[in-house]
Structure 1
Amino acid sequence: MSAPRVDSTDVLVVGGGPAGAAAALHAARRGLSVLLVDAARFPRDKTCGDGLTPRAMHQLQLLGFGPEIAAGYRSRGLKLHGFGGDVTAPWPKSAFGSEGSAMRRTRLDALLFETARATDGVTVREGSPAVDVSLRHGRVESVTVSTPDGDRTVRCGTVIVADGVRSPFGKLLGRVWHRTEVYGIAARAYCATPFSGEEWIHSHLELRDREGRAQPGYGWIFPLGDGHVNIGCGALSTTARPAKVNTKKLLSHYAGLRRAEWSLGPETDVASALLPMGGAVSGVAGPNWMLIGDAAACVNPLNGEGIDYGLETARLAAELIDPRRDLTVVWPRVLRENYGEAFLLARTAARLLTHPRLLPAVGPFGFRGPQAAPLMRTTARLMGNLVTDGDRDVVARAWRTAAGGLYRLRGSGAVLWA
């Protein structure tokens, strides 16, 4: 039996989704050699709402993408429904712009992956999972990649792990998902519709099952501009208060309720997933490796959005690559500095929503009366991850004040990338 072949690269990126492909592009633009590997072959699907917030669009623009995203389809904001009311909430003007979109993950991921393939300095391998690692004092010395042509040993200076919510390679490095914290369960499908060019994302914040029980989550309809919508639902759960719902059955019920209004065809490509959220994982870095995106639970606990954080953490990680830098402490600190306060507050709010009586009690206040429109516009801004440290308005100041107070109260040890 012949010995595995040996490759060498400055940067090994494990996982070719948006976060991994973006990390490869950013690293290559720094003049580093990059090997990007993924267990699947592209195009491949992923359970996702397919929405692209202005924050995500901003990161894609930084990578050089423009009209090719969703063939030019753009969304203007959210239309929120529930508890006897409807509120329209345009994307606010922000540092990220005010233009959103939506694009099937099969297409978005393939676009980013193929762009990485065509970039000087990047080598890609599909159907090639990273299956083993050699460590010395926590430092990755080499990684075994199982390719269609046999195992290859990859010697690398830095490893960026972007292998998704389950993060099998992250687990080899010691990544732990803390399910005592709030996490998401979601299901999505595609339906044909004559209204796929609708310029608004629709979110139903009053989500009830067939028996009429309110669920701690929401339903969504993302028009895709291609003759279809992405329709789905998500619920919040913890080990203490697990969501007692079959998300695929709930999705079928939700689609049935929306069918006449949208002239929906039957649901196709139904898929479901679990989502770690809000930094509720530990073991995200070592001397020369770091987890990014979904693998690092960089997902908004209030809505399950993670593409924008995946793209952002890819850029942040690539900027840190330096053989002289020990990432063990540096990378968790960078994550906490950028997302810690907001994630802790959002996770706490999401945990409150798992109480079955809370949302039916407070929901009507958000949709009825003169306070409904400004309150829901604020909700849309938070759900779109559109509050930044640079914002100086009342909403941003209140959000930062509450987040900072909670962060100081609970401390950075509250499973935020410990």
Structure 2
Amino acid sequence: MVRVLLAVVLLVFAPLPAGALVLDRDTVWRGEISFSEPVDVPAGVTLRVEPGSHIRFERAGLTVRGRILAREAEFSGTAWSGLVLRGVGIDSLLAGCRISGAATGVRVESGAPRLEGLVVENNRIGIELVRQSDATVSGCRLARNSRVGLMLKDGATAGVVDCDFEANGRFGAYIYKSKPRRFAGNRFRAEKVALMLSHYGTDPVIAGNCLSDNDTGIKVDRAARPQLVGNDISGNRVGLYCYRRSDPQVTGNRIRANEIGVLVAYSSYPVLRDNDLAGNRLALKLEFQSIAWERQKGAAARQQESARSAFGARPHRSVSENERRASVREGLIDARNNWWGEEETRRLRTLGPDGNPEFIHDGRDQATFEEGGQSWPLDRVLFAPWRSTPPPFKSDAGDKS
């Protein structure tokens, strides 16, 4: 096991893998080919993989620094590291290929390759985009990868559109300190956390995605501040989970038929506008959410947090307390101008703006909670005024209803 891990580290990080097979001229692969040593495609060299080819690696992998053109090929192996595309341009293309069984199916380090219609299954990590990668990932299927289907981190600006995520181990997609130029039209199901957005600096527009039949649809964590627009977040245990100082802007989404529509915890202050929140068992719930706790203990608690980033790696820079401090400090969750459902709207008209609707759990229902041996007042939700009719729903993918 130790020898295998060392081989993977050398393959990913060494300037040139020890004992690698280096392609010194343009090369075409076709048919069934097996390698037991790392293969390196240096700058200035093009590797073409013909349709129907099956490329296998035994405790090795492929690193491309030049150009790769592969259509409808299969890449697999035993204890293999995967494909590494390092600084390749938009003229590199993986299309209609199947990639399985690797530590990381495809790792893109900077550069802007096109990954189109891939089937990336049964890897540890499906696709990983790092070091300001501007790749385009479109029409791919990422399923049953044991850790995460798709990882964007360290300033990745990639576009991710029209992909299917299903039954990946911990996360369908994880965006860490990155701002993809487009993240739209993707579908998630049967995930523990379908889409994770974490840490300050993660503030992309997430638009027109469908997240259903997951434990948690979208989780926003650690001062991430994305814009969530026109997503269909329905039929999950928790639709949207705002956790540990996250302040997303949540506008025009369909958040329906979840056990909990929106869950807010630990000094998070999202702004919810013009969303359809009908049909949830509980539309909005506050948990361990207190501006009093934030003022007295928030900064100290954040200092005690482990200085780790996604999956335990060390962060490139620390985030100041000023960057992470709550921007809203009145102890109110702003959920004005949303649609809560027909029966719920009738109930709101009866109760009025100062009432206590059953479909919202806040400080009106639970005055305090216990944390650290002290009682803290639970924040409240500002829900008035409310919409009297459902908002029009338009996803980024063009769906209208």
TM-score by length of 2: 0.22
Higher RCO structure (Cα 8 Å, ≥6 apart):
1
More helix by share: 1
**Which structure is higher in strand share?**
2
Q: In terms of Rg, which structure is larger? A: 2
